[in-house]
Amino acid sequence: MFDLSGEVAVVTGGNGGLGLAFCRGLVKQGSKVAIWGRNEEKNAAAVSELQGMGGDVEAFACDVTDQSQIDEAFAQTLARFEKVDSCFANAGGGGYRGPSHMTDRQVWLNTIDLNLMSVVQTWKPVTAHLMERQAPGRLIVTSSVAGLVGTGGAAGYSTTKAAVLGLVRALAVELGQAGIRVNAILPGYIETEMSLDTPQSFKDGAKRRAAIGRIGKLEDMEGVAAFLASKESDFMTGQNIVLDGGHSIFPL
């Protein structure tokens, strides 16, 4: 089960945090992985780690807000691996933190570009490739529980993470009969290198609200990546997979 031998996955932002956790899960099941990331030092470190696990992995420099860089990274990926079977549009960011009425238009547009348009742009060449091959494929996006619940002071982040859920549903309908499945992963609070400066009070609150009594670890992200990239997920499309330890359903 979840045998990904011979499969090729693209993971944007796969050089750290959630993206690297997805890569670990994919490599453990035999998938080849193409990492797209801006930081070449982190790219090299991620490739070294995953190759140490026995993975066939390569990284390509790419800013996912730039369509020309995406197209170049995709061309390099095809030259190296010859095909793509699944694509994890994981790269993104928190955007502006503060009152929404004090956020100017360009800041909103920057957040939309980073968290929504980057997904559209990343999936564009992958979808065309899958349609041309007439091959089944899988498109996955990293959304957030923030796309389902209110997060005061982070309206841009919440809005864009909710927007990709609409994109997932629309594309699931559009691409379903072509054999392309489209789904979203919605993590809750997960301990990553990006969360090191998170206030302890927030961490304590997240743990207290979790139905299972703890906050998330990167290892918790590995299995869902393998599942969504595998044929075992073929009957699932247009869905939101919430991984938050029960935080979003816990009563106040």
Mind listing the pLDDT tens digit for each residue in 69-85?
Answer: 999 999 999 999 999 99
The CB density around residue 202, as the number of other CB atoms within 10 Å, is 12
| pLDDT score recorded for residue 21 | 98
| pLDDT score recorded for residue 154 | 86
Mind listing the pLDDT tens digit for each residue in 229-241?
Answer: 999 999 999 999 9
3-state DSSP call for residue 241? Answer: strand
| pLDDT score recorded for residue 116 | 98
Query: Of residues 74, 96, 157, 189, which has the active-site annotation?
Result: 157
pLDDT range class, residue 197, cuts 50, 70, 90: low
pLDDT above 80 (res 193): no
What is the spatial distance between Cα 212 and Cα 170, in angstroms, rounded to a whole number? 33
| Lowest mean pLDDT, pick from 26-30, 136-140, 154-158 | 154-158
Token duo for residue 45: 């470190």
Let me know if 157 is a catalytic residue.
yes
Mind listing the pLDDT tens digit for each residue in 90-137?
Answer: 999 987 778 888 888 999 999 999 999 999 999 999 999 999 999 999
| pLDDT score recorded for residue 204 | 75
3-state DSSP call for residue 168? Answer: helix
| Angle value at C-alpha 99, between 97 and 100, nearest 5 degrees | 95
What is the spatial distance between Cα 85 and Cα 31, in angstroms, rounded to a whole number? 10
